[in-house]
Chains A and B, each alone.
Chain A
Amino acid sequence: MKLTINGQSMTFSNRITHVNQLLHELDVKVKTVVVELNRHILSREDHDEAVLKDGDCLEIVHFVGGG
């Protein structure tokens, strides 16, 4: 399955079917990330149920230093 994450094209095994699995697979260490799936912002609770399909476009953002 091909996904575009933060503008980058990446390939994943078809075992990855949901957003929470993707975050696990990416081994995201940052505690708080927000995921936008095809321009639709997901709440934390949505991560378990949000289904991924080939060609999906995701933005994964977090809080960084800023003023």
Chain B
Amino acid sequence: MLTIGKASFTSRLLLGTGKFSDLDIQSQAVEAAETEILTFAVRRLNLEERDKQHFLDMLDLSRYTLLPNTAGATTAVEAIRIAKLAKASGLCDMIKVEVIGDSKTLLPDPFETLKASDKLLEEGFIVLPYISDDVILAKRLQELGVHAVMPGASPIGTGHGLLNPFSLGLIIEQAEVPVIVDAGIRSPGDAAMAMQLGADAVLLNTAVSGAKDPVKMAEAMKLAVRAGRYGFEAGMIPVKRYASASSPTEGMVQA
């Protein structure tokens, strides 16, 4: 079970809802992923497109936990405002704190992320900050009392997979709260690798929504996350320098 704050989840795959080509495919992909946590962004209502159908309205909200993000924020002040707007919907009390420090890499600003997380914890939010793979920042955030840390595997939407498994491993090792590897995942192999390292969950979006067959990819990611977790739980053999036979060396058939 994945426990974040007071809530527990069977699925360890969190899915973003951005960039799907159509709502039907999106529904099928969400279904195939068997995810229980969906991320959303907060945006102005487009007054010219008031009739447009939105994914949230199609959802059975009793089946999902909503994890709105503060995407678009570049300062703690902006992130806090977005978080409060999200919470005022009455649909959720979790927030993915996402404060971008640079428009080219979309890497998160560690200082503003820390500030925003601190304030939002004070306000009673369940706080899940999106961070770089920085071990000390992850520690500092935990000391503040965040409910999970979400280090990126590689920059958002790049599909570079796990650029620094070493740092992710260190974050996981020292973590006292769930570690959710977020961003940069491309393949089911990436997702499995993150879980194998001991991550508690994986959050991805583009890897599914941008796939040629998003529904099949959602299914693949579900299985990969499960496989990686099972591998981690089962405990892998140590790596050795030289071969060791799998078959007995005694009782060989003689010539």
Contacts and interface: CB of A to CB of B under 8 A. Distances in A.
Q: Answer yes or no: are A and B bound together in one complex.
A: yes
A58 to B, nearest CB: 10
Interface string B159-191: 000000000000000000000000100000000
A41 interface: yes
Contact residue range for chain B? 35 or more
Interface of B: 16-20, 26, 39-45, 47, 50-51, 54-57, 66, 68-69, 71, 84-86, 88-91, 156, 183, 203-206
Contacts of A5: 47
B68 A61 contact: no
A36 B17 contact: no
Contact of A30 (B16, B19, B41, B57): B57
Nearest to A63: B40
A44 interface: yes
Nearest to B70: A66
A42 B20 CA distance: 31
B56 A62 contact: yes
B47 A62 contact: no
A33 B45 contact: yes
Nearest to B182: A67
Contacts of B56: 30-32, 62-63
